[in-house]
Structure 1
Amino acid sequence: MKSMKKLLLIAILLAVVVVSVGSCSAGWFDFMSGGNSTDTSLDGQEVNLAAAASLKNVFDDKLIPMFEEKYPGVKVTPTYASSGDLQTQIENGLETDVFMSAANKQMNALAEEGIVDNATNLQFLENKVVLIVPADSDSNISSFDDLKDVEGNIAIGDPESVPAGQYAKEVLNNTGIWDDVESKLSLGTDVTAVLNQVAQGSADCGIVYATDAKSTDDVKVICEAPEDALDTPVIYPIAAIKDTNDTDATNAFMDFLQTQEAKDIFVEYGFTLHE
Protein backbone atom coordinates (compact mmCIF):
# COMPACT_ATOMS: atom_id res chain seq x y z
CA MET A 1 0.00 0.00 0.00
CA LYS A 2 2.83 2.37 0.95
CA SER A 3 4.58 1.60 -2.36
CA MET A 4 1.42 2.48 -4.29
CA LYS A 5 1.12 5.80 -2.45
CA LYS A 6 4.75 6.60 -3.18
CA LEU A 7 4.28 5.82 -6.87
CA LEU A 8 1.15 7.99 -7.00
CA LEU A 9 2.96 10.86 -5.28
CA ILE A 10 5.90 10.58 -7.68
CA ALA A 11 3.51 10.62 -10.65
CA ILE A 12 1.78 13.75 -9.37
CA LEU A 13 5.10 15.51 -8.82
CA LEU A 14 6.26 14.60 -12.32
CA ALA A 15 3.04 15.96 -13.79
CA VAL A 16 3.52 19.25 -11.95
CA VAL A 17 7.10 19.49 -13.22
CA VAL A 18 6.02 18.84 -16.85
CA VAL A 19 3.30 21.49 -16.69
CA SER A 20 5.69 24.01 -15.12
CA VAL A 21 8.39 23.37 -17.70
CA GLY A 22 5.85 23.65 -20.50
CA SER A 23 4.63 27.00 -19.20
CA CYS A 24 8.14 28.32 -18.85
CA SER A 25 9.02 27.15 -22.37
CA ALA A 26 5.96 28.86 -23.82
CA GLY A 27 6.88 32.05 -22.01
CA TRP A 28 10.47 31.74 -23.19
CA PHE A 29 9.48 31.33 -26.84
CA ASP A 30 7.05 34.26 -26.56
CA PHE A 31 9.86 36.32 -25.10
CA MET A 32 12.32 35.24 -27.81
CA SER A 33 9.82 36.13 -30.54
CA GLY A 34 9.23 39.56 -29.04
CA GLY A 35 5.83 38.62 -27.63
CA ASN A 36 4.23 38.93 -31.06
CA SER A 37 1.54 36.30 -30.70
CA THR A 38 -1.07 36.36 -33.44
CA ASP A 39 -4.81 36.89 -33.04
CA THR A 40 -7.03 34.34 -34.78
CA SER A 41 -10.37 35.67 -33.52
CA LEU A 42 -11.12 37.36 -36.87
CA ASP A 43 -10.28 34.42 -39.13
CA GLY A 44 -12.11 34.51 -42.46
CA GLN A 45 -12.85 38.23 -42.39
CA GLU A 46 -11.69 40.79 -44.97
CA VAL A 47 -10.88 44.49 -45.01
CA ASN A 48 -11.32 46.34 -48.30
CA LEU A 49 -9.15 49.46 -48.25
CA ALA A 50 -9.62 52.39 -50.63
CA ALA A 51 -6.57 54.66 -50.31
CA ALA A 52 -5.06 57.59 -52.18
CA ALA A 53 -2.33 56.59 -54.64
CA SER A 54 0.30 58.37 -52.52
CA LEU A 55 -0.31 55.79 -49.76
CA LYS A 56 0.40 52.73 -51.88
CA ASN A 57 4.05 52.28 -50.88
CA VAL A 58 3.55 52.56 -47.14
CA PHE A 59 0.58 50.20 -47.14
CA ASP A 60 1.96 47.59 -49.54
CA ASP A 61 5.51 47.60 -48.18
CA LYS A 62 4.85 47.67 -44.47
CA LEU A 63 1.43 48.27 -42.95
CA ILE A 64 -0.69 45.61 -44.66
CA PRO A 65 1.92 42.85 -44.09
CA MET A 66 2.24 43.93 -40.44
CA PHE A 67 -1.53 43.80 -39.90
CA GLU A 68 -1.92 40.45 -41.67
CA GLU A 69 0.88 39.01 -39.54
CA LYS A 70 -0.99 40.09 -36.43
CA TYR A 71 -4.30 38.78 -37.80
CA PRO A 72 -3.25 35.93 -40.13
CA GLY A 73 -6.83 34.97 -40.91
CA VAL A 74 -7.75 38.44 -42.19
CA LYS A 75 -7.15 39.53 -45.79
CA VAL A 76 -6.63 43.22 -46.61
CA THR A 77 -7.50 44.05 -50.22
CA PRO A 78 -6.38 47.55 -51.28
CA THR A 79 -7.57 49.75 -54.12
CA TYR A 80 -5.37 52.74 -54.97
CA ALA A 81 -6.31 55.70 -57.15
CA SER A 82 -6.76 59.43 -56.93
CA SER A 83 -9.03 60.42 -54.05
CA GLY A 84 -11.58 61.88 -56.45
CA ASP A 85 -11.68 58.67 -58.47
CA LEU A 86 -12.07 56.63 -55.29
CA GLN A 87 -14.91 58.86 -54.12
CA THR A 88 -16.74 58.22 -57.37
CA GLN A 89 -16.08 54.47 -57.19
CA ILE A 90 -17.35 54.29 -53.62
CA GLU A 91 -20.47 56.24 -54.54
CA ASN A 92 -21.02 53.76 -57.38
CA GLY A 93 -20.75 50.72 -55.13
CA LEU A 94 -17.04 49.88 -54.79
CA GLU A 95 -16.81 47.36 -51.95
CA THR A 96 -14.99 49.37 -49.32
CA ASP A 97 -14.57 49.13 -45.56
CA VAL A 98 -11.98 51.85 -44.94
CA PHE A 99 -11.36 55.01 -46.96
CA MET A 100 -8.20 57.11 -46.63
CA SER A 101 -8.18 60.24 -48.74
CA ALA A 102 -5.42 62.71 -49.58
CA ALA A 103 -7.77 65.63 -48.92
CA ASN A 104 -10.83 66.48 -46.88
CA LYS A 105 -12.93 67.39 -49.92
CA GLN A 106 -13.62 63.79 -50.95
CA MET A 107 -14.10 62.54 -47.39
CA ASN A 108 -16.49 65.38 -46.59
CA ALA A 109 -18.55 64.60 -49.69
CA LEU A 110 -18.97 60.96 -48.64
CA ALA A 111 -19.80 62.04 -45.08
CA GLU A 112 -22.53 64.37 -46.33
CA GLU A 113 -23.98 61.49 -48.34
CA GLY A 114 -24.05 59.31 -45.23
CA ILE A 115 -21.60 56.77 -46.66
CA VAL A 116 -18.80 57.02 -44.08
CA ASP A 117 -19.17 56.48 -40.36
CA ASN A 118 -18.57 59.99 -38.99
CA ALA A 119 -17.79 58.61 -35.54
CA THR A 120 -14.59 57.14 -37.04
CA ASN A 121 -13.70 60.11 -39.27
CA LEU A 122 -10.20 61.17 -38.21
CA GLN A 123 -7.83 63.91 -39.37
CA PHE A 124 -4.84 61.62 -39.44
CA LEU A 125 -1.75 62.59 -41.49
CA GLU A 126 -0.13 65.59 -43.15
CA ASN A 127 2.07 65.86 -46.22
CA LYS A 128 4.09 68.52 -48.02
CA VAL A 129 3.85 69.75 -51.62
CA VAL A 130 7.19 69.83 -53.44
CA LEU A 131 8.61 70.76 -56.83
CA ILE A 132 10.67 67.99 -58.46
CA VAL A 133 12.84 67.46 -61.55
CA PRO A 134 14.45 64.30 -62.98
CA ALA A 135 17.43 63.16 -60.91
CA ASP A 136 19.86 63.76 -63.78
CA SER A 137 18.38 67.12 -64.74
CA ASP A 138 20.70 70.11 -65.23
CA SER A 139 17.74 72.48 -65.16
CA ASN A 140 18.13 75.98 -63.72
CA ILE A 141 14.84 75.66 -61.86
CA SER A 142 15.33 76.66 -58.23
CA SER A 143 11.88 77.86 -57.20
CA PHE A 144 8.22 77.79 -58.21
CA ASP A 145 8.65 81.22 -59.78
CA ASP A 146 11.13 79.74 -62.26
CA LEU A 147 8.33 77.63 -63.75
CA LYS A 148 7.41 80.68 -65.85
CA ASP A 149 10.56 80.07 -67.91
CA VAL A 150 10.12 76.31 -68.42
CA GLU A 151 9.81 75.50 -72.13
CA GLY A 152 8.73 71.86 -71.77
CA ASN A 153 5.99 70.14 -69.77
CA ILE A 154 5.12 70.71 -66.13
CA ALA A 155 3.40 67.64 -64.66
CA ILE A 156 0.66 68.01 -62.05
CA GLY A 157 -2.34 65.93 -61.06
CA ASP A 158 -5.63 66.80 -62.73
CA PRO A 159 -7.11 69.48 -60.41
CA GLU A 160 -10.61 68.23 -61.21
CA SER A 161 -10.11 64.91 -59.41
CA VAL A 162 -6.61 64.62 -57.94
CA PRO A 163 -5.95 66.30 -54.56
CA ALA A 164 -2.24 66.71 -55.40
CA GLY A 165 -3.35 68.56 -58.54
CA GLN A 166 -5.75 70.73 -56.54
CA TYR A 167 -2.94 71.67 -54.17
CA ALA A 168 -0.61 72.30 -57.13
CA LYS A 169 -3.13 74.65 -58.75
CA GLU A 170 -3.57 76.43 -55.42
CA VAL A 171 0.19 76.96 -55.15
CA LEU A 172 0.48 78.17 -58.74
CA ASN A 173 -2.44 80.57 -58.26
CA ASN A 174 -1.22 81.93 -54.94
CA THR A 175 2.30 82.49 -56.27
CA GLY A 176 0.79 84.38 -59.20
CA ILE A 177 2.09 82.19 -62.02
CA TRP A 178 -0.92 80.05 -62.99
CA ASP A 179 -1.64 82.07 -66.15
CA ASP A 180 2.01 81.79 -67.19
CA VAL A 181 2.20 78.00 -66.86
CA GLU A 182 -1.30 76.73 -67.63
CA SER A 183 -0.51 75.99 -71.29
CA LYS A 184 2.54 73.92 -70.25
CA LEU A 185 0.72 71.63 -67.83
CA SER A 186 0.60 67.87 -68.36
CA LEU A 187 -2.23 66.48 -66.21
CA GLY A 188 -1.83 63.11 -64.51
CA THR A 189 -4.65 60.81 -63.42
CA ASP A 190 -3.08 60.54 -59.95
CA VAL A 191 0.06 61.67 -58.15
CA THR A 192 1.91 58.47 -59.09
CA ALA A 193 1.39 59.25 -62.76
CA VAL A 194 2.88 62.71 -62.20
CA LEU A 195 5.88 61.21 -60.42
CA ASN A 196 6.44 58.77 -63.28
CA GLN A 197 6.31 61.52 -65.92
CA VAL A 198 9.13 63.36 -64.18
CA ALA A 199 11.13 60.22 -63.33
CA GLN A 200 10.99 59.09 -66.96
CA GLY A 201 11.85 62.54 -68.31
CA SER A 202 8.64 63.10 -70.26
CA ALA A 203 8.08 66.20 -68.12
CA ASP A 204 10.75 68.76 -67.24
CA CYS A 205 9.41 69.07 -63.71
CA GLY A 206 6.38 68.29 -61.61
CA ILE A 207 4.52 68.99 -58.40
CA VAL A 208 3.94 66.05 -56.06
CA TYR A 209 3.83 65.19 -52.38
CA ALA A 210 7.07 64.98 -50.43
CA THR A 211 6.37 61.31 -49.67
CA ASP A 212 6.17 60.47 -53.38
CA ALA A 213 9.46 62.22 -54.11
CA LYS A 214 11.05 60.27 -51.27
CA SER A 215 9.95 56.96 -52.76
CA THR A 216 12.34 57.00 -55.73
CA ASP A 217 15.90 57.99 -56.59
CA ASP A 218 14.81 58.96 -60.11
CA VAL A 219 13.74 62.47 -59.09
CA LYS A 220 15.16 65.20 -56.89
CA VAL A 221 13.35 67.83 -54.85
CA ILE A 222 14.00 71.45 -55.77
CA CYS A 223 11.96 73.05 -52.99
CA GLU A 224 8.82 72.85 -50.87
CA ALA A 225 5.81 75.00 -51.66
CA PRO A 226 5.89 78.23 -49.63
CA GLU A 227 3.67 77.97 -46.55
CA ASP A 228 1.60 80.99 -47.57
CA ALA A 229 0.97 79.42 -51.00
CA LEU A 230 -1.39 76.83 -49.52
CA ASP A 231 -4.70 77.95 -48.06
CA THR A 232 -5.00 74.74 -46.07
CA PRO A 233 -2.50 72.08 -44.97
CA VAL A 234 -2.37 68.79 -46.86
CA ILE A 235 -4.49 66.61 -44.60
CA TYR A 236 -5.13 62.86 -45.00
CA PRO A 237 -8.39 61.88 -43.26
CA ILE A 238 -9.40 58.27 -42.63
CA ALA A 239 -12.80 56.75 -41.84
CA ALA A 240 -14.68 53.47 -41.85
CA ILE A 241 -17.52 53.00 -44.30
CA LYS A 242 -20.87 52.87 -42.54
CA ASP A 243 -22.16 49.64 -44.15
CA THR A 244 -18.99 47.59 -43.74
CA ASN A 245 -19.34 43.81 -44.06
CA ASP A 246 -16.80 42.61 -41.48
CA THR A 247 -17.13 45.19 -38.72
CA ASP A 248 -14.74 43.52 -36.27
CA ALA A 249 -11.92 43.28 -38.81
CA THR A 250 -12.55 46.86 -39.95
CA ASN A 251 -12.39 48.11 -36.36
CA ALA A 252 -9.20 46.10 -35.76
CA PHE A 253 -7.60 47.63 -38.87
CA MET A 254 -8.59 51.16 -37.86
CA ASP A 255 -7.22 50.57 -34.36
CA PHE A 256 -4.00 49.11 -35.75
CA LEU A 257 -3.32 52.16 -37.93
CA GLN A 258 -3.52 54.34 -34.83
CA THR A 259 -0.98 52.31 -32.84
CA GLN A 260 2.44 53.81 -32.24
CA GLU A 261 4.14 51.14 -34.37
CA ALA A 262 1.95 52.02 -37.36
CA LYS A 263 2.39 55.75 -36.82
CA ASP A 264 6.16 55.27 -36.77
CA ILE A 265 5.94 53.60 -40.20
CA PHE A 266 3.96 56.52 -41.65
CA VAL A 267 6.65 58.89 -40.34
CA GLU A 268 9.37 56.66 -41.78
CA TYR A 269 7.76 57.09 -45.20
CA GLY A 270 7.76 60.88 -44.91
CA PHE A 271 4.30 61.66 -43.54
CA THR A 272 3.68 63.89 -40.55
CA LEU A 273 1.14 62.97 -37.89
CA HIS A 274 -1.67 65.50 -37.64
CA GLU A 275 -1.91 66.70 -34.06
Structure 2
Amino acid sequence: MAGYGRRGFIFYSLFGLLSACTVAQVNQQQSSAINLTISAASSLKDVLNAIAFQYNQENTNLKIIYNFGSSGSLQQQIEQGAPIDIFISASPQQMEALKAKNLLIPESEKPLVGNQMVLIVPQGKTGISRFEQLTNPDINKIVIGEPGSVPAGQYAQEILINVGLYNTITPKLVFANNVRQALTYVEMGNVDAGIVYKTDAQLSNQVKMVAIASPNSHRPIIYPVAILKNSKYPDLAKLFVQFLFQQKAQQIFKDYGFQILT
Protein backbone atom coordinates (compact mmCIF):
# COMPACT_ATOMS: atom_id res chain seq x y z
CA MET A 1 0.00 0.00 0.00
CA ALA A 2 2.82 2.33 0.94
CA GLY A 3 4.56 1.61 -2.40
CA TYR A 4 1.35 2.25 -4.32
CA GLY A 5 0.95 5.56 -2.46
CA ARG A 6 4.41 6.68 -3.48
CA ARG A 7 3.77 5.79 -7.14
CA GLY A 8 0.45 7.59 -6.99
CA PHE A 9 2.09 10.63 -5.49
CA ILE A 10 4.74 10.69 -8.25
CA PHE A 11 2.09 10.22 -10.97
CA TYR A 12 -0.10 13.03 -9.75
CA SER A 13 2.91 15.29 -9.19
CA LEU A 14 4.03 14.74 -12.79
CA PHE A 15 0.47 15.20 -14.05
CA GLY A 16 0.22 18.46 -12.14
CA LEU A 17 3.55 19.66 -13.56
CA LEU A 18 2.54 18.83 -17.12
CA SER A 19 -0.80 20.58 -16.66
CA ALA A 20 0.95 23.67 -15.33
CA CYS A 21 3.29 23.66 -18.34
CA THR A 22 0.33 23.36 -20.73
CA VAL A 23 -1.49 26.26 -19.06
CA ALA A 24 1.69 28.35 -19.21
CA GLN A 25 2.06 27.66 -22.94
CA VAL A 26 -1.55 28.64 -23.62
CA ASN A 27 -1.16 31.82 -21.61
CA GLN A 28 2.04 32.63 -23.48
CA GLN A 29 0.29 32.16 -26.83
CA GLN A 30 -2.61 34.31 -25.73
CA SER A 31 -0.31 37.07 -24.50
CA SER A 32 2.00 36.98 -27.54
CA ALA A 33 1.88 40.00 -29.80
CA ILE A 34 -0.43 40.08 -32.81
CA ASN A 35 1.26 40.99 -36.09
CA LEU A 36 -0.33 43.85 -38.03
CA THR A 37 1.14 44.10 -41.54
CA ILE A 38 1.28 47.46 -43.26
CA SER A 39 2.37 48.06 -46.85
CA ALA A 40 3.58 51.62 -47.26
CA ALA A 41 5.39 53.85 -49.74
CA SER A 42 9.18 53.90 -49.37
CA SER A 43 9.17 57.61 -48.53
CA LEU A 44 7.29 56.82 -45.30
CA LYS A 45 9.88 54.40 -43.90
CA ASP A 46 11.49 56.59 -41.25
CA VAL A 47 8.39 58.39 -40.06
CA LEU A 48 6.31 55.21 -39.81
CA ASN A 49 9.04 53.45 -37.84
CA ALA A 50 9.00 56.36 -35.40
CA ILE A 51 5.20 56.21 -35.18
CA ALA A 52 5.26 52.44 -34.58
CA PHE A 53 7.69 52.96 -31.70
CA GLN A 54 5.35 55.54 -30.17
CA TYR A 55 2.30 53.32 -30.69
CA ASN A 56 3.95 50.33 -29.03
CA GLN A 57 4.60 52.34 -25.90
CA GLU A 58 0.88 52.08 -25.24
CA ASN A 59 0.03 48.87 -27.15
CA THR A 60 2.59 46.22 -26.28
CA ASN A 61 0.42 43.34 -27.53
CA LEU A 62 0.55 44.52 -31.15
CA LYS A 63 3.60 44.17 -33.40
CA ILE A 64 3.72 46.44 -36.44
CA ILE A 65 5.33 44.79 -39.49
CA TYR A 66 6.08 47.09 -42.41
CA ASN A 67 6.45 46.23 -46.08
CA PHE A 68 7.99 49.23 -47.85
CA GLY A 69 8.26 49.69 -51.60
CA SER A 70 7.04 51.71 -54.55
CA SER A 71 3.30 52.27 -54.36
CA GLY A 72 2.75 50.63 -57.74
CA SER A 73 4.59 47.47 -56.70
CA LEU A 74 2.70 47.33 -53.40
CA GLN A 75 -0.59 47.72 -55.27
CA GLN A 76 0.29 44.72 -57.44
CA GLN A 77 1.20 42.64 -54.39
CA ILE A 78 -2.17 43.40 -52.82
CA GLU A 79 -4.00 42.57 -56.04
CA GLN A 80 -2.18 39.22 -56.07
CA GLY A 81 -3.44 38.40 -52.58
CA ALA A 82 -0.61 39.52 -50.29
CA PRO A 83 -1.76 39.28 -46.62
CA ILE A 84 -1.84 43.00 -45.85
CA ASP A 85 -3.92 44.75 -43.19
CA ILE A 86 -3.29 48.41 -44.07
CA PHE A 87 -2.05 50.17 -47.21
CA ILE A 88 -0.55 53.66 -47.30
CA SER A 89 0.19 54.88 -50.82
CA ALA A 90 2.15 57.91 -52.01
CA SER A 91 -0.63 58.71 -54.47
CA PRO A 92 -4.42 58.32 -54.61
CA GLN A 93 -4.04 56.57 -57.99
CA GLN A 94 -2.99 53.23 -56.51
CA MET A 95 -5.69 53.39 -53.86
CA GLU A 96 -8.37 54.13 -56.43
CA ALA A 97 -7.27 51.08 -58.43
CA LEU A 98 -7.67 48.85 -55.36
CA LYS A 99 -11.03 50.41 -54.56
CA ALA A 100 -12.22 49.69 -58.10
CA LYS A 101 -11.40 46.01 -57.52
CA ASN A 102 -13.34 46.00 -54.24
CA LEU A 103 -10.24 45.19 -52.17
CA LEU A 104 -10.67 47.94 -49.57
CA ILE A 105 -13.04 48.14 -46.62
CA PRO A 106 -15.63 50.72 -47.69
CA GLU A 107 -15.23 54.15 -46.11
CA SER A 108 -11.81 53.24 -44.63
CA GLU A 109 -9.83 55.25 -47.19
CA LYS A 110 -8.71 58.68 -45.95
CA PRO A 111 -6.12 61.28 -47.02
CA LEU A 112 -3.36 61.13 -44.41
CA VAL A 113 -0.56 63.64 -45.10
CA GLY A 114 0.99 65.65 -47.92
CA ASN A 115 4.47 66.29 -49.30
CA GLN A 116 6.51 68.43 -51.71
CA MET A 117 8.88 67.71 -54.58
CA VAL A 118 12.39 69.13 -54.64
CA LEU A 119 15.41 69.23 -56.92
CA ILE A 120 18.54 67.86 -55.26
CA VAL A 121 22.22 67.62 -56.17
CA PRO A 122 25.20 65.97 -54.44
CA GLN A 123 26.49 67.99 -51.51
CA GLY A 124 29.14 70.42 -52.74
CA LYS A 125 27.87 70.69 -56.31
CA THR A 126 27.32 74.25 -57.47
CA GLY A 127 25.95 75.99 -60.52
CA ILE A 128 22.35 74.85 -60.32
CA SER A 129 19.49 76.43 -58.43
CA ARG A 130 16.49 76.01 -60.74
CA PHE A 131 14.77 73.18 -62.60
CA GLU A 132 15.36 75.06 -65.86
CA GLN A 133 19.12 74.59 -65.40
CA LEU A 134 18.83 70.83 -65.83
CA THR A 135 19.58 71.50 -69.50
CA ASN A 136 23.09 72.72 -68.55
CA PRO A 137 25.86 70.74 -70.31
CA ASP A 138 27.46 69.74 -66.99
CA ILE A 139 24.23 67.96 -65.94
CA ASN A 140 24.56 64.60 -67.66
CA LYS A 141 22.37 62.30 -65.54
CA ILE A 142 19.14 63.11 -63.68
CA VAL A 143 17.34 60.51 -61.59
CA ILE A 144 13.60 60.30 -61.03
CA GLY A 145 11.35 57.43 -59.97
CA GLU A 146 9.98 55.16 -62.67
CA PRO A 147 6.81 57.08 -63.71
CA GLY A 148 4.91 53.88 -64.44
CA SER A 149 5.03 52.57 -60.88
CA VAL A 150 6.56 55.21 -58.60
CA PRO A 151 4.35 58.18 -57.67
CA ALA A 152 7.43 60.35 -57.05
CA GLY A 153 8.42 59.62 -60.64
CA GLN A 154 4.98 60.59 -61.88
CA TYR A 155 5.14 63.89 -60.00
CA ALA A 156 8.67 64.52 -61.31
CA GLN A 157 7.54 63.84 -64.86
CA GLU A 158 4.64 66.29 -64.45
CA ILE A 159 7.05 68.96 -63.17
CA LEU A 160 9.42 68.51 -66.09
CA ILE A 161 6.53 68.64 -68.59
CA ASN A 162 5.10 71.71 -66.88
CA VAL A 163 8.39 73.64 -67.11
CA GLY A 164 8.85 72.52 -70.73
CA LEU A 165 11.93 70.36 -70.15
CA TYR A 166 10.80 66.76 -70.38
CA ASN A 167 11.41 66.12 -74.08
CA THR A 168 14.71 67.99 -73.99
CA ILE A 169 16.25 66.15 -71.03
CA THR A 170 14.74 62.68 -71.63
CA PRO A 171 18.15 61.32 -72.78
CA LYS A 172 19.59 62.35 -69.40
CA LEU A 173 16.98 60.61 -67.29
CA VAL A 174 17.78 57.63 -65.07
CA PHE A 175 14.82 55.79 -63.56
CA ALA A 176 14.80 54.40 -60.01
CA ASN A 177 12.61 51.63 -58.58
CA ASN A 178 11.52 53.86 -55.69
CA VAL A 179 12.24 57.30 -54.29
CA ARG A 180 14.78 56.03 -51.76
CA GLN A 181 16.82 54.51 -54.56
CA ALA A 182 16.69 57.85 -56.39
CA LEU A 183 18.00 59.57 -53.27
CA THR A 184 20.83 57.03 -52.98
CA TYR A 185 21.89 57.63 -56.59
CA VAL A 186 22.37 61.32 -55.80
CA GLU A 187 24.11 60.62 -52.48
CA MET A 188 26.60 58.31 -54.21
CA GLY A 189 27.29 60.82 -56.96
CA ASN A 190 26.07 58.37 -59.62
CA VAL A 191 23.94 61.16 -61.08
CA ASP A 192 24.25 64.94 -61.21
CA ALA A 193 20.77 65.74 -59.93
CA GLY A 194 17.51 64.15 -58.86
CA ILE A 195 13.88 64.98 -58.14
CA VAL A 196 12.56 63.48 -54.90
CA TYR A 197 10.22 64.21 -52.03
CA LYS A 198 11.29 66.97 -49.70
CA THR A 199 10.95 64.64 -46.72
CA ASP A 200 13.51 62.22 -48.21
CA ALA A 201 15.97 64.97 -49.06
CA GLN A 202 15.78 66.27 -45.49
CA LEU A 203 16.97 62.91 -44.15
CA SER A 204 20.32 63.07 -45.96
CA ASN A 205 23.38 65.21 -45.26
CA GLN A 206 24.91 64.05 -48.54
CA VAL A 207 22.56 65.97 -50.81
CA LYS A 208 21.55 69.59 -51.15
CA MET A 209 18.07 70.88 -51.96
CA VAL A 210 18.42 73.58 -54.60
CA ALA A 211 14.78 74.14 -55.61
CA ILE A 212 11.26 73.35 -54.46
CA ALA A 213 8.74 72.57 -57.19
CA SER A 214 5.76 74.89 -57.47
CA PRO A 215 2.54 73.21 -56.25
CA ASN A 216 1.01 74.25 -59.56
CA SER A 217 3.52 72.17 -61.53
CA HIS A 218 2.12 68.79 -60.43
CA ARG A 219 -0.91 67.14 -58.89
CA PRO A 220 -1.28 67.56 -55.13
CA ILE A 221 0.89 65.03 -53.31
CA ILE A 222 -1.47 63.16 -51.01
CA TYR A 223 -0.77 59.95 -49.09
CA PRO A 224 -4.05 58.05 -48.58
CA VAL A 225 -4.47 55.22 -46.07
CA ALA A 226 -7.00 52.36 -46.16
CA ILE A 227 -7.75 49.00 -44.54
CA LEU A 228 -7.78 45.92 -46.75
CA LYS A 229 -10.83 43.68 -46.92
CA ASN A 230 -8.71 40.57 -46.35
CA SER A 231 -7.21 41.96 -43.13
CA LYS A 232 -7.08 39.35 -40.40
CA TYR A 233 -7.50 42.02 -37.75
CA PRO A 234 -9.75 44.79 -39.15
CA ASP A 235 -10.66 46.13 -35.70
CA LEU A 236 -7.01 46.46 -34.66
CA ALA A 237 -6.18 47.95 -38.06
CA LYS A 238 -8.90 50.54 -37.51
CA LEU A 239 -7.44 51.49 -34.13
CA PHE A 240 -3.97 51.96 -35.66
CA VAL A 241 -5.35 54.08 -38.49
CA GLN A 242 -7.18 56.20 -35.92
CA PHE A 243 -3.87 56.66 -34.09
CA LEU A 244 -2.27 57.97 -37.29
CA PHE A 245 -4.69 60.91 -37.15
CA GLN A 246 -4.19 61.64 -33.47
CA GLN A 247 -2.02 64.54 -32.31
CA LYS A 248 0.97 62.40 -31.29
CA ALA A 249 1.31 60.76 -34.69
CA GLN A 250 0.48 63.92 -36.63
CA GLN A 251 3.24 65.75 -34.76
CA ILE A 252 5.71 63.02 -35.76
CA PHE A 253 4.65 63.41 -39.40
CA LYS A 254 5.20 67.15 -39.07
CA ASP A 255 8.61 66.67 -37.45
CA TYR A 256 9.66 64.58 -40.44
CA GLY A 257 8.58 67.31 -42.86
CA PHE A 258 5.22 66.00 -44.05
CA GLN A 259 2.36 68.41 -44.57
CA ILE A 260 -0.58 68.10 -42.19
CA LEU A 261 -3.87 68.16 -44.07
CA THR A 262 -6.29 68.95 -41.25
Indicate whether the TM-score tops 0.5. Answer: yes
- Partners in 2 of 1:229 and 1:212 — Cα distance? 19
- For residue 252 of structure 2, the aligned residue among 249, 252, 265 is 265
Tell me, in whole angstroms, the C-alpha distance in 2 between the residues paired with 1:91 and 1:244.
13
- Residues 211-251 of structure 1, C-alpha deviations (whole Å, 9 max, x = no match): 00011111110011123211x21011001111210122212
Equivalent in 34, 55, 63 of residue 67 of structure 1:
55
Contact preservation (8 Å) 1:42, 1:74: no
CA distance in 2, matches of 1:128, 1:159: 17
Q: What are the superposed Cα offsets for residues 136-177 of structure 1, whole Å, 9 maximum, x if unpaired? A: 213x11100001114321010000100000000000001100
Once residues 169 and 187 of structure 1 are traced to their aligned partners in structure 2, the CA distance between those partners, rounded to angstroms, is 11
Cα deviation, 1:168-206, whole Å, max 9, x if unaligned, reads 000000110001110100100000000000011001000
Alignment partners' CA distance in 1, 2:250 and 2:59: 18
TM-score between both structures, scaled by the size of structure 1: 0.82
Residue 118 of structure 1: how far off its partner (Å): 3.0
Identity percentage over the alignment? 36
d(CA) in 1 for partners of 2:75, 2:199:
22
Q: Does 1:217 align with 2:242?
A: no
Query: How big is the shift at 1:42?
Result: 8.7
Q: 2:159 aligns with which of 171, 174, 193?
A: 171
Matched residue, 2:135? 148
* 8 A Cα contact 2:132 2:165, kept in partner: yes
Distance 1:165 1:63, change over 3 A: same
Q: Which residue of 2 aligns with 1:93?
A: 81
Aligned counterparts of 2:139 and 2:120: Cα–Cα separation in 1: 16
- 1:10-66 deviation digits (Å, cap 9, x = unpaired): xxxxxxxxxxxxxxxxxxxxxxxxxxxxxxx99642210000000001112x11111
State the distance in 2 between where 1:237 and 1:107 align.
7
The answer to whether the 8 A contact 2:119-2:213 is kept is yes
- 218-227 or 159-168, which deviates more: 218-227
Q: Which amino acid aligns with 2:63?
A: K
Structure 2 unaligned runs (5+)? 1-29
Q: Which residue of 2 aligns with 1:25?
A: none
Is 1:108 the equivalent of 2:96? Answer: yes
In the alignment, does 2:241 pair up with 1:242?
Answer: no
Q: Is the 8 A contact 2:121 2:194 kept in 1?
A: yes
The CA distance in 1 between the partners of 2:48 and 2:78, in whole Å, is 19
Q: Is the 8 A contact 1:42 1:248 kept in 2?
A: no
1:130 aligns with 2:113: no
What residue is the counterpart of 1:3 in the other structure? none
Code of the residue aligned with 2:115 in structure 1: it is N
Letter in 2 for 1:192: R
2:139–2:193 Cα contact (<8 Å) kept: no
Match for residue 35 of structure 2 among 46, 52, 62: 46
Measure how far apart 1:124 and its partner are.
1.4
Choose from 240, 250, 257 the match for 1:253: 240
Partner of 2:133, secondary structure, is helix
Task: Give the one of 186, 192, 199 matched to 2:180.
Answer: 192
Distance, in Å, in 2 between the alignment partners of 1:241 and 1:42 is 25
User: How many residue pairs are counted as aligned between the two chains?
Assistant: 232
User: 2:106 and 2:175 mapped to 1: Cα distance?
Assistant: 32
SS in 1 for 2:57: helix
SS at match of 1:192: helix
For structure 1, list consecutive stretches of 5 or more residues without a partner in the other structure.
Answer: 1-40
After TM superposition, list the pairs within 5 Å mapping 1:71-86 onto structure 2: 71-86=59-74
Mapped to 1, the partners of 2:88 and 2:154 lie a distance apart of: 17
- Comparing 144-153 with 258-267, which one deviates more in the overlay? 144-153
TM-score, normalised to structure 2, is 0.86
| Distance in 1 (alpha carbons) for counterparts of 2:108 and 2:60 | 24
Give the Cα–Cα distance (whole angstroms) in 2 for the partners of residues 211 and 117 of structure 1. Answer: 29
- For the residues of structure 1 that align with 2:43 and 2:31, how far apart are their CA atoms? 29
